[in-house]
Amino acid sequence: MLDCLTQWATLLSPIISVIAIIVALKVVRNSSKDAQKQIKAIHHLLDVFVAVNNLDIVEAQRKYRQQLVELDSQIEDAQMKVETVYPFVGGARIDHIIAAQEKADQKAHLN
């Protein structure tokens, strides 16, 4: 009886080893598929992250350009105030003449 069990164990040992190898390969293959799915999900999340940050960058650029336009208009208004002199509005008054001289001095200083 002991010889019979030994023979069966000897015969079944390689078969069990082959089954274990097949099961191990199947587990590795499934794990590889899961890893690939996780990598794809990570790539998708990175794409979403980059897209969101690009929107923030575009919004910041738009605000910056808008501020530049506003500053340009303020600079033009200031230049017009410096360059425009009204010496004879309401008659030739001394304060108008002094204002004209101050504006001319400011204009020379700006240039």
Summarize pLDDT for 31-51 with one digit per residue, the tens: 888 888 888 888 888 888 877
pTM above 0.85, yes or no: no
Where exactly are the structural domains of the chain? 2-81
Containing H/E element for 99? helix 94-110
Task: Give the separation between CA 83 and CA 103, rounded to whole angstroms.
Answer: 7
What is the reported pLDDT for 66?
93
Collapsing DSSP states into helix, strand and coil, what is residue 4? helix
Q: Per-residue pLDDT for the chain (111 aa), expressed as one digit of tens each?
A: 777 878 877 888 888 888 888 888 888 888 888 888 888 888 888 888 877 777 777 788 889 999 999 999 998 888 777 666 565 555 556 666 787 788 888 888 877
Cβ-based burial of 85 (10 A; exposed 0-12, middle 13-18, buried ≥19)? middle
Task: Give the separation between CA 66 and CA 74, rounded to whole angstroms.
Answer: 12
